[in-house]
Chains A and B, each alone.
Chain A
Amino acid sequence: MSLKVVVDMDVCQDHGQCVFSAPDVFQLDGEGHLVLLVEEPDESLRSACEDAADVCPVQAITIEG
């Protein structure tokens, strides 16, 4: 199954810690709010995405697939 990243935007509090782990997938916009750049990143980013899920203080990120 291919890699899929889901962010629960009701839970996300824009801590931005995910950005440090996987800058190709997560970014903060000009207002400091999270934008998910790609929902189905390349398999080579799996470990970076898992790291991002680990460091989210509010557990807003789920890795599917």
Chain B
Amino acid sequence: MAAARVVVAGAGMAGLRTAEALRAGGFAGEVVVLGDEPWAPYNRPPLSKEALKGGVEHAGVAFRQRASVADVDWRLGTAVTGVDLHGRSVTLADGSALDYDALVAATGVSARRLHVDGPPPEARAGRHVVRTLDDARALRAELVPGARLVVVGAGFIGCEVAATARLLGCEVDCVAVDSHPMVRPLGIELATELQRRHEAQGVRFHLGTGVRAFAGEERVRGVVLSDGTELAADVVVEALGSRPATDWLEGHGLDLADGVLTDSALRPVVLDAAADRVGPLDGVAVVGDLARFPNHRFDDAAWRVEHWNIPTETGRRAGAVLAAHLAGEGYEAVVGADWTVLPAFWSDQYDLRLQSYGMPSLADPDGARVLEGDLAGECVVGYSRGDDLVGVVGIGMLREVNAYRDRVGRGAGVPA
């Protein structure tokens, strides 16, 4: 029998971690990683923070790779355009096909764009997004002192870019339909406080409003808000969240409503009764930002979580599961064992370090409470749903917030 081949679609963090976990799980066959970017896997969080401030170089953000993956066949600059899940082969952009014994879907997400009138959605028109190294590089070149930046979207990435741009001497306006920056993941109390801190640093917020159009023709000159107000702009960043990269997986009856729905072994679930089978698909795993997987740590629902520790956690799970599958051990052994994940997230804005564990967004509307410290300084905020602590967030106070980490999830109770 020829050596088995695993094909990994997507050369990001999740693809890398899965390749490493396949080796750790004893898989010695061929691993081919296909990535549409020209770069070996690199760390994205610095792209809105220190790397955007200092200078965006691949060498500064590239992931260290374990020695065990030195023989992986990295095919960079190669997009996957389709897949035949029954014939087990992927189609590449040049029309060629590549067979596999097992497949890893690790294509992540891409940045969402605003579809309104104005100059084209391109960096050279002054309209930027921040997802890739090349995006960050193009943006960095325009963040010169005195430049007028308008950030559309006040989530974490939007707020981080706003903070970095202030540190670089730009003028910054931030527009969002939400009532407060980062209010969806953090709740109103913390969001109000963080808004105050951004304003103290000179960021001007325009909240509860959408964008009607971008002014300018070849290049953006301004941002027109819902009420017709126009903000002058030399540079615009669209930080409106993401769109899972599932195009290549369409047409197989998978649930692609929000990323790819999987079971707890990270197998994609075929839902379409018209397809010739229903249920989880063996020999395929979905990892990282792309995966919507059940996490019994919180409840029985499946969630897609765009946090930095998810590629590592799901990659380890997928590598172990697929290595066992390819060794002929079957799924029973691994599927039975309960597998849960604690999402972890951090954010740096000015000299503030935010550290979050769990899923604060699941909290009851009045479920947020300061557990330690005070909101105006350093603090730990707990988020509860009924009797469960579903998340904790620290502003500073790292040791304190870390101490709550193991209590987050179903059944451990809310701290007194």
Contact = CB atoms under 8 A, between A and B. Distances in A.
Contacts of A15: 346, 355, 398
Contacts, number: 35
A53 B64 contact: yes
A32 B396 CA distance: 10
Contacts of B353: 13
Given A50-B66, A59-B43, A16 B399 contact: yes
B323 to A, nearest CB: 15
Contacts of B74: none
Interface string B40-68: 00010110000000000000000110100
Contacts of B45: 57
B312 interface: yes
A32 B312 contact: no
Contact of A16 (B308, B309, B402): B402
A57 B64 contact: no
A54 B17 contact: yes
Interface string B9-43: 00000000100000010000000000000000001
Given A17-B344, A20-B405, A59 B64 contact: yes
A28 interface: yes
A54 B312 contact: yes
B312 A55 contact: yes
Given A20-B405, A54-B17, A32 B399 contact: yes
A19 interface: yes
Nearest to B311: A54
Interface in A2-24: 13-17, 19-20
Contacts of A13: 353
Interface of A: 13-17, 19-20, 28, 32, 47, 50, 53-55, 57-59, 62
A13 B49 CA distance: 13
Interface in B356-379: none
Given A32-B399, A54-B312, A62 B346 contact: no
B402 A19 contact: yes
Contacts of A54: 17, 312
Contacts of A19: 402
B405 A32 contact: no
Given A53-B64, A54-B17, A55-B309, A14 B398 contact: yes
A58 B60 CA distance: 10
Contacts of B402: 16, 19-20, 28
A57 B398 contact: no
12 contacts: A14-B398, A15-B355, A16-B399, A17-B309, A17-B344, A28-B399, A28-B402, A32-B399, A50-B66, A57-B43, A58-B43, A58-B46
A15 B309 CA distance: 13
Given A17-B344, A57-B346, A59-B64, 12 more contacts: A16-B398, A20-B402, A28-B398, A28-B402, A50-B66, A53-B64, A54-B312, A55-B309, A57-B308, A58-B46, A59-B43, A62-B64
A11 B46 CA distance: 12
A32 B401 CA distance: 11
A6 to B, nearest CB: 11
Contacts of A14: 398
Nearest to A50: B66
A64 B296 CA distance: 36
B355 to A, nearest CB: 8
Interface string B296-331: 000000000000110010000000000000000000
A14 B346 CA distance: 12
A38 B153 CA distance: 45
A20 B63 CA distance: 20
Nearest to B342: A20
Task: Name, among B308, B355, B399, B405, the residue most crowded by chain A CB atoms within 10 Å (CB to CB).
Answer: B399
Nearest to A15: B346
Q: Which 8 A-B pairs have CB atoms at the shortest separation, nearest pair first?
A: A32-B398, A32-B399, A54-B312, A16-B398, A16-B402, A28-B399, A59-B64, A55-B312
A32 B346 CA distance: 16
Contacts of A50: 66
A19 B308 CA distance: 17
